[in-house]
Structure 1
Amino acid sequence: MSKVFDFSGVDDFCSGGFMHTNPKDSNLFFPLGRHVDVYFPRKRSHVSAPFVFSGEVKPQPSIEVLPDECLFEVFRRLSGGQERSVCASVSKRWLMLLSSIHRDEIFPAKGNLDPEEHDNTSISVKEDEAFKPKEKVEFVDSERVKSVNEEFEGIDSDGFLSRCLEGKKATDVRLASIAVGTGSRGGLGKLSIRGSSSTRGLTNLGLRAIGRGCPSLRYLSLWNLSSIGDEGLLEIASGARLLEKLDLCHCPAITDIGLIAMAMNCPNLMSVTIESCTNIGNESLKALGRYCPNLKCITVKNCALIGDQGIVSLFSSAGHVLSKAKFQALDISDVSLAVIGHYGSAMTDLELLDLQNVNDRGFWVMGKGQGLQKLKVLSITACGGVSDSGLEALGGGCPNLKLFGLRKNLLVSDTGIVKLARAAVSLESLQLEECHRITQCGVFHILANCGGKFKALALANCLGIRDINFLFPLTSICHSIRSLIIHNCPGFGDVGLAVLGRMCPKLTQVELSGLQGITDTGLLPLIRSLEAGLNKLNLSGSVNLTDNSVVAITKMHGETLELMNLDGCKYLTDITLSEIAQNCSVLTELDVSKCGITDSGIATLSGAEQLNLQIFSLAGCSFVSDMSLPYLGVLGKTLVGLNIRHCNGISSSSIDLLLEQLWRCDVLY
């Protein structure tokens, strides 16, 4: 072995030389004896026996031997955000220590200030790469810590970083990385965490890091997180006092303690959503009403512990500022409706869903309370207690009501809905869905008795609407209505369409979908009676229509028609596409799915020079084949969306060519 260390200069064994001209410099690498020289060959040595060095190897000192308290003091003196980010990337231990430092505990930089602390509007990719450590060392935990610099995606329009973690990505380590890294990049403004009941990587420790490191947080959304409780919300409430929006959904471990703390420490709260949180009750609503003077919007859904006491406390304290409210599946009674009607002086938007314990008396008192003078939007869904007298009172008590929606109701009849239309003088839009006691006679009376501001009527799944012989005076014309939607009302047919044509001559948007009872006989009088040009027409599911209707539509309204949906009109042929090509100059969306069109029709359509289609759907057109490929390519010059699903005549190879040609277009196949 002594011969190995006696080489000097050039030798047959291996050529090379000393690494250091001064032999003392070699001690920087190995603690050797006085007369020992170390030779580093250029090639790997074939000697398998270990080298034996004289002298004792001393361990190098490491900052890791310092306890957490000392490292804490070191980290809080780091001068800038980049330095903290780099240190956080070293190990999980360092990351968690840095994330535990409150922003108020960081020492201000002396001398030259970190420019990132003052100018957060521009961050180059090169700067991020320059400060990213080349190697990360995991001293304590075996889990590899993701680089903090990889946690940044972009800055939203408000100037704050926005982060969304879902499923397995929602861990304490990621939240700690976000808390440490976003401070020097404008600050975290929005955080959304969407997990599940099986999420195990996230605890209150992660929210503690956000609370201490993200004082600029303004929006927090927590969904399906069984591991997050009051401790995490307390940390957010303590550190993120600028919070404006809070969304809690399926968080069973959060109780009134956490939400009360949020209300007391975050006076800027403007919007709060509580959904399916089984341990949040009336005290939380009471605290929100008392401590949040800027609360504008409240949503409470499926919370068994919230009842009349919570609603009463909320509106009696904050009714003068609350403008939007949604209550669904709650155990509340007529008392809550009465309080809303009395104290909701600032309310503009109110939605009530699935309230099984409210009766018609509650709606009557709510309307008579005269507190809903500013209400513009009212939606009532699956509240079985409301009937005709309640609707009449609501119409009279809401003079500024513009949109009213009633869904899944079995008690309201033509009388109630007509009285509402008469009393609500500002009503612009009426939506009725699954109201089976409403008849065609009631619909015509609504149009005849509504005010001059009425613009839109929507009927969906109303089984009581059937064709009747209806006579009305010539003065019963609604000149203000512009939009008519009748969806899936099987009893509505040609007779009703003819009457509507005479009563609504100013329609510009018509949707008659799922009406198998209408034919050309009923549709043609409606189309011909419209004085204003149609902008949007939806006839999907009207299986008995033919090319005659489309010919009349395109000739009379082709210059104004922008959208036409003919999905499922199986009797339409290439004549329809020919008429559209000749007469529709501003059409941007066309749907002829499951129609009887062929390659010839598409060829004709592609030859229309004035046509500027952007969305074209021919899904389920079995007569379309590979012959249409060049014509679709021509149309594709302006298309942004093309649907050719279930077009069995188009081969997979043609689809590949089409995808290559229409690379700017979103093709569904």
Structure 2
Amino acid sequence: METEVPSLPVEVICYILSFLSTSDRKEASLVNTAWYAASLDRSLQKNVIYNFQASSACLESIRDLGWRQSPSVALRNFDGVPISNTVIQSIMLHLAPNLENLSLRGSYISESSFVSLITSCHNLRGLDITGCNCLFMSGILLSKGKSKSMMAEALVNLQELNLSNLSYLSDQTFNRLTECTPNLRKLSLASCHITFGFDPYRGMSVFNSTALLSFSNILHFINGQAATLKALNLSRTTITNEAMWSIGQVAGLCLEELALQHCRDITDEAVSAICACQPGLTTLDLAGCSELTGKSVLAIVSSLQCLESLSLSRVRNITDSVLKELATIPTLQALDVSECYQVNGYDLIMGLASPKAGSKLSRLNFSCCTMVNDDCVFSMARVLGGRLRELDLTSCVYITDISVCAIVYHLRGLTVLRLGWCKEITDWGLQGMIASNNDSEPYSKGDGEPELSRSFGNMGFFAPPKYLNEQPEVVTESDIEASKEQERASLSSLTRLKELSLTACTKLTDTSIIKEIRFEELRTLSLSMVREITDESFISITTHCRSLERLSLSHCSRLTDQGLIGAASHLKKLTHLDISCCDKITSQMLKVLMNECKWLKSLDVSMCGGLTVADIEQLQLLHPTLTNVQARCLGGDDLPLTLWTKTE
């Protein structure tokens, strides 16, 4: 007689589930009742956000989620119609007591519904009302003493408040709301219309304007909450140097995060001042601040020795020479210099390789840095080695197979690799081989390292490759057999990859895609505009990458119904699919896709010549859970706007 296997304690099952991704936990919860109960543990729900539309189809899900004690919810497309109020009432009844994070981004929720919803949530830690202009348009939000006192009771523990993109936010409504949040740690006012140029109160301390949101009022708020405020986002505002200096001088203020994206009026002097006054900053975002130069970088290096993440994206006056100094920041983990056209990476790599370097870079973004070439990537790969986790080389048009070979040999710990628009990458590179000068055979060193012997101190520039044509080089079976005796690393060596982009790498074919894209943990893959791949590649990818959640195959014109139907059964976790401009796709594939991919939420079939508007209308009627459909230019017509539902 077989003995019954004892069940694991719930605590052990929870511990096992904590190592799984969200999609894997969904599958594991179906094992049995005990595993399902363990999946509802509150500790496993912290990083999960449930999105709800204003639809009667959500009501049952909301009731079920009441058992999960879900801490994070996002409401989309809510307005004053009856069904929106019904859904809000259901959330108040089933979810509100346990809610910690609530997003109403872009909703047209009424003031009464907003107050009722928030006052029923007594454990809120984060509130996002980005773009909810209808709440502030009348100017009477929280004007009644009773509603304000109830709101203050509900928001007493609120730590994060996002007020971005509010056109009608005034000093009066801002004050009413923030007076209810005495423990606020993070505040975002990105894209708000803030007046910095003059003081409408002429030095008076009464801030009650119903028409303006003034910097003097915001500064008054910062002074009052300096003890708790740790993060501030003033991106896309007209903040001035003087305003920056005033923030830095606030007594008791110790900021950890500061975002100033596209604040075009600030200069090096402002950055130097804020860095000197706030040396505890760990995250600084200066993307798009076009007036900044290398002086800002030097100020950051001299003052911010606790900095962990720095974005200098689109700061186009930055040169490579000043980036060398960033390597001396011992805590720096993430650096974004995308679209900095004067950066070639050499001095940064030299700094990272120097004995004084203390940086522990794990994320590096060189996207659109067109001066980056093979020498830079090869040296960077050798210097950073196993530390690097995310690398973005999108549109670095001069890198070739040499760079790919260096990446796969040295950067085995990568989880994110983006090589989109690197059009000189071929099948050779993905397979760990480099074509020799006569293009007749590949070569690699016996120890697996690509044949590139330049030392770090003797780096020369490669001549830019000549774009003779866009046609892929043919790799034959005899070529592959001849190279098998040589030990090498190929793309499949990056076993930890979770995201891979090969968008517009037009020289790739089935030869390398079939053999190399085999990653058990891959979640996101883009092969858009890789026009030579066929159904054979698609079936191979879905067979060997069972964890795919996002897949982009737009402009892959050789894909047919046969391939997608054959692959659909392997895409159980797929949530986003882009097959736009694939003319051989028909409605037959859509039926199979929706039956097999139960989690699919987003689908792009724009400009698919084999589909009609009627096909998409029927698809949405039969599958209401498909909440984001892009279907432009089908048979010369666009999908009626009434049938479009977006979540992103």
Same fold (TM over 0.5): yes
SS at match of 1:433: coil
Q: Which amino acid aligns with 1:439?
A: T
1:307 to 263, 267, 271: 267
1:429 to 390, 396, 417: 390
CA contact (8 A) 1:563 1:588 kept: yes
1:596: how far off?
A: 1.4
Aligned-partner Cα distance in 1 for 2:243–2:625:
58
1:341: how far off?
A: 2.0
Q: Which residue of 1 aligns with 2:554?
A: 567
Aligned-partner Cα distance in 2 for 1:204–1:545:
57
- More displaced 10-residue stretch of structure 1: 537-546 or 623-632: 623-632
Check 1:236–1:592 CA distance in 2 against 1; reply closer, same or farther (3 A cut): farther
Q: Which amino acid aligns with 1:225?
A: H
Check 1:260–1:360 CA distance in 2 against 1; reply closer, same or farther (3 A cut): farther
CA contact (8 A) 2:226 2:253 kept: no
SS at match of 1:417: helix
Q: Which runs of no fewer than 5 residues in structure 2 stay unpaired? A: 1-90, 94-109, 429-433, 437-442, 451-468
Q: Which residue of 2 aligns with 1:486?
A: none
Aligned-partner Cα distance in 1 for 2:622–2:236:
49
- More displaced 10-residue stretch of structure 1: 380-389 or 204-213: 204-213
1:345: how far off?
A: 1.9
Check 1:335–1:148 CA distance in 2 against 1; reply closer, same or farther (3 A cut): same
CA contact (8 A) 2:471 2:507 kept: yes
Q: Using CA pairs below 8 Å that are at least 6 residues apart, which structure has the higher relative contact order?
A: 2
- Please give the residue correspondences for 1:321-336 in structure 2 after superposition, counting only pairs within 5 Å: 321-328=280-287, 329=289, 331-336=291-296
Q: Which residue of 1 aligns with 2:585?
A: 597
- Please give the residue correspondences for 1:425-464 in structure 2 after superposition, counting only pairs within 5 Å: 425=385, 426-448=387-409, 450-462=410-422
Aligned-partner Cα distance in 2 for 1:191–1:559:
37
Aligned-partner Cα distance in 2 for 1:271–1:404:
23
Q: Which residue of 1 aligns with 2:337?
A: 380
* 1:518 matches 2:484: no
* 1:541 matches 2:501: no
Q: Which amino acid aligns with 2:282?
A: S
Aligned-partner Cα distance in 2 for 1:211–1:531:
48
Q: Which residue of 2 aligns with 1:154?
A: 118
SS at match of 2:163: strand
Q: Which residue of 2 aligns with 1:88?
A: none
Aligned-partner Cα distance in 1 for 2:521–2:182:
54
SS at match of 1:291: coil
Deviations 1:540-598 (A, max 9, x none): 333333333334445x5276656554433333333214422566666665554434134
Aligned-partner Cα distance in 1 for 2:165–2:367:
30
Check 1:234–1:567 CA distance in 2 against 1; reply closer, same or farther (3 A cut): farther
Aligned-partner Cα distance in 1 for 2:565–2:598:
15
Aligned-partner Cα distance in 1 for 2:184–2:521:
49
CA contact (8 A) 2:408 2:490 kept: no
Aligned-partner Cα distance in 2 for 1:637–1:150:
26
Q: Which residue of 2 aligns with 1:476?
A: 448
2:309 to 321, 346, 349: 349
SS at match of 1:381: coil
1:429: how far off?
A: 1.7
2:163 to 166, 188, 192: 192
Q: Which amino acid aligns with 2:163?
A: S
1:359: how far off?
A: 3.4
1:310: how far off?
A: 3.2
Q: Which residue of 2 aligns with 1:4?
A: none
Deviations 1:519-553 (A, max 9, x none): 334433435xx485866544333333333333444
CA contact (8 A) 2:572 2:599 kept: no
1:344: how far off?
A: 2.0
CA contact (8 A) 2:275 2:299 kept: yes
Q: Which residue of 2 aligns with 1:267?
A: 227
1:380: how far off?
A: 0.9
Check 1:494–1:174 CA distance in 2 against 1; reply closer, same or farther (3 A cut): farther
CA contact (8 A) 2:561 2:585 kept: yes
CA contact (8 A) 2:118 2:154 kept: no
1:180: how far off?
A: 6.1
Aligned-partner Cα distance in 2 for 1:667–1:176:
30
1:390: how far off?
A: 1.9
Q: Which residue of 1 aligns with 2:136?
A: 170
Aligned-partner Cα distance in 2 for 1:576–1:375:
45
2:193 to 221, 225, 228: 225
Aligned-partner Cα distance in 1 for 2:131–2:584:
47
Q: Which residue of 1 aligns with 2:27?
A: none
- More displaced 10-residue stretch of structure 1: 163-172 or 469-478: 163-172
CA contact (8 A) 2:186 2:232 kept: no
Aligned-partner Cα distance in 2 for 1:363–1:473:
33
CA contact (8 A) 2:336 2:365 kept: yes
Aligned-partner Cα distance in 1 for 2:541–2:236:
49
Q: Which residue of 2 aligns with 1:502?
A: 490
CA contact (8 A) 2:422 2:505 kept: no
1:632: how far off?
A: 5.8
Identity %: 19
Aligned-partner Cα distance in 2 for 1:147–1:651:
35
Larger radius of gyration: 1
- Please give the residue correspondences for 1:76-87 in structure 2 after superposition, counting only pairs within 5 Å: none
* 1:362 matches 2:322: yes
Aligned-partner Cα distance in 2 for 1:464–1:337:
33
Aligned-partner Cα distance in 2 for 1:615–1:208:
39
Aligned-partner Cα distance in 2 for 1:393–1:403:
17
Q: Which residue of 1 aligns with 2:457?
A: none
Check 1:295–1:626 CA distance in 2 against 1; reply closer, same or farther (3 A cut): closer
Question: What TM-score comes out, normalization by structure 2 length?
Answer: 0.59
Q: Which amino acid aligns with 1:475?
A: D
Check 1:209–1:168 CA distance in 2 against 1; reply closer, same or farther (3 A cut): same
CA contact (8 A) 1:207 1:235 kept: no
Check 1:212–1:330 CA distance in 2 against 1; reply closer, same or farther (3 A cut): same
Q: Which amino acid aligns with 2:143?
A: S
1:270: how far off?
A: 0.8
CA contact (8 A) 2:418 2:502 kept: no
Q: Which amino acid aligns with 1:543?
A: R
Check 1:595–1:398 CA distance in 2 against 1; reply closer, same or farther (3 A cut): farther
Aligned-partner Cα distance in 2 for 1:338–1:236:
38
- Please give the residue correspondences for 1:611-630 in structure 2 after superposition, counting only pairs within 5 Å: 612=598, 614-615=600-601, 617=603, 618-624=605-611
Number of equivalenced pairs:
483
Q: Which residue of 2 aligns with 1:576?
A: 563
Aligned-partner Cα distance in 1 for 2:162–2:521:
47
Aligned-partner Cα distance in 1 for 2:227–2:376:
43
Aligned-partner Cα distance in 2 for 1:355–1:252:
28
Aligned-partner Cα distance in 2 for 1:310–1:632:
54
SS at match of 1:422: helix
1:174: how far off?
A: 1.8
Q: Which amino acid aligns with 1:442?
A: S
1:460: how far off?
A: 2.9
Q: Which amino acid aligns with 2:336?
A: S
